């Protein structure tokens, strides 16, 4: 048996083409494009690459980009002031603070300053509360992307045993809530869980979201399980060439799993696409009688 790949890159490309058509319709009615502001602090190479990818994707679907790049020594007050200005800017429908931030900045406090209706990353407490209550709203991009990918491949979650390894606010907790909403039985495991291998082997749906290369080995995977690799780790080989790998030992797990996401080409592409989706959804909510998009869940 060889796992079927869950091709996030192909799905993301198709979704972006569909979003571009939706933007054309919306812009014709409302006389301006949706707008997204990404705030980046410092010169972290990985963050810079992510921001470039987001800006390119905005161009593809017709979203106006209002990115702001701050020096590494930018103050909390400067960033908060910028967020307040963007909250009041009618051209801007989505605001995202690129993480991680330099150590002297309080990322939680900054995220909480974003208008919940412009919270493109779905991380404001107001939007997380909507998720807990099962109400429509902006969803965290990576978890929403995972759910959309599972939906695309018609993977039935109802009644299945799902194990999420990782308990971050960015991925682990919201994906667990989304899986619960889809009627899965959910276990959250983490660094202090006893016998992680046994917990993982119980999963029909295994989500790895830790950020540790090769964490998931074939002995931890139930034969035929759906394995979703959210981890992104940059490694350098003996020749000095760098590449991205996930939390799953891909080559070793592929003969065991039923479905498997590659890294890159899996969840990462979906994360950017759901960011665009969230921005367009926020834009559509501003206009009475506008074309309504679903919440991505």
Give yes or no: 98 in active site.
yes
Residues annotated in the binding site for NADP(+), as ranges?
A: 166-168, 232
pTM of the model: 0.92
Residues annotated in the binding site, as ranges?
A: 166-168, 232
| Marked catalytic residue, from 22, 54, 115, 229 | 54
Give yes or no: 121 in active site.
yes
Q: Which fold has domain 30-118?
A: Rossmann fold (3.40.50)
Which segments of the chain belong to CATH 3.40.50.10860?
30-118
Tens of pLDDT, residue by residue, the chain (297 residues): 799 999 999 999 999 999 999 999 999 989 899 999 999 999 888 788 888 889 999 999 999 999 899 999 999 999 999 999 999 999 999 999 998 899 999 999 999 999 999 999 999 999 999 999 999 999 999 999 999 999 999 999 999 999 999 999 999 999 999 999 999 999 999 989 999 999 999 999 999 999 999 999 999 999 999 999 999 888 888 888 888 899 999 999 999 999 999 999 999 999 999 999 999 999 999 875 444 444 444
| Marked catalytic residue, from 93, 115, 119, 121 | 121
Which segments of the chain belong to CATH 3.40.50.720?
141-266
| Marked catalytic residue, from 98, 113, 115, 173 | 98
As a three-state string, the secondary structure of the chain is CCCEECCHHHHHHHHHHHHHHHHHHHHHHHCCCCEEEEEEECCCHHHHHHHHHHHHHHHHHCCEECCEEECCCCCHHHHHHHHHHHHHCCCCCEEEECCCCCCCCCHHHHHHHCCHHHECCCCCHHHHHHHHHCCCCCCCHHHHHHHHHHHHCCCCCCCCEEEEECCCCCCHHHHHHHHHHCCCEEEEECCCCCCHHHHHHCCCEEEECCCCCCCECHHHCCCCCEEEECCCEEEECCCCCEEEECCECHHHHCCCCCEECCCCCCHHHHHHHHHHHHHHHHHHHCCCCCCCCCCCC
Class of domain 141-266: alpha beta
């Amino acid at each position: 048996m060889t796992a079927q790949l869950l091709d996030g890159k192909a799905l993301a490309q198709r979704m972006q083409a569909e979003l571009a058509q939706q933007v054309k319709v919306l812009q014709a009615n409302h006389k301006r494009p949706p707008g997204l502001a990404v705030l980046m602090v410092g010169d972290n190479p990985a963050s810079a690459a992510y921001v470039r990818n987001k800006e390119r994707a905005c161009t593809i679907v017709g979203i106006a980009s209002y990115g702001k790049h701050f020096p590494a020594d930018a103050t909390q007050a400067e960033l908060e002031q910028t967020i307040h200005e963007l909250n009041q800017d009618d051209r801007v429908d989505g605001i995202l603070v690129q993480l991680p931030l330099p150590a002297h900045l309080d990322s939680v406090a900054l995220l909480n300053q974003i208008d919940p209706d412009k919270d493109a990353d779905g991380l404001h407490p107001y939007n997380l509360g909507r998720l807990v209550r099962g109400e429509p709203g902006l969803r965290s991009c990576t978890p929403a992307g995972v759910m959309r990918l599972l939906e695309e491949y018609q993977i039935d979650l109802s009644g299945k045993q799902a194990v999420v390894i990782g308990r971050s606010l960015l991925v682990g907790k919201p994906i667990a809530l989304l899986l619960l909403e889809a009627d899965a039985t959910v276990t959250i495991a983490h660094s202090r869980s006893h016998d992680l291998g046994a917990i993982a082997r119980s999963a029909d749906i295994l989500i790895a979201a830790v950020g540790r290369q090769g964490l998931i080995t074939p002995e931890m995977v139930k034969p035929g399980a759906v394995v979703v690799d959210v981890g992104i780790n940059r490694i350098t080989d003996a020749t000095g060439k760098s590449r991205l790998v996930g939390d799953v030992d891909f080559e070793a797990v592929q003969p065991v799993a039923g479905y498997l996401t590659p890294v890159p080409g899996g969840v990462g592409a979906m994360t950017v696409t759901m960011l665009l989706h969230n921005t367009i959804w926020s834009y559509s909510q501003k206009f009475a009688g506008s074309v309504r998009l679903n919440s991505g869940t």
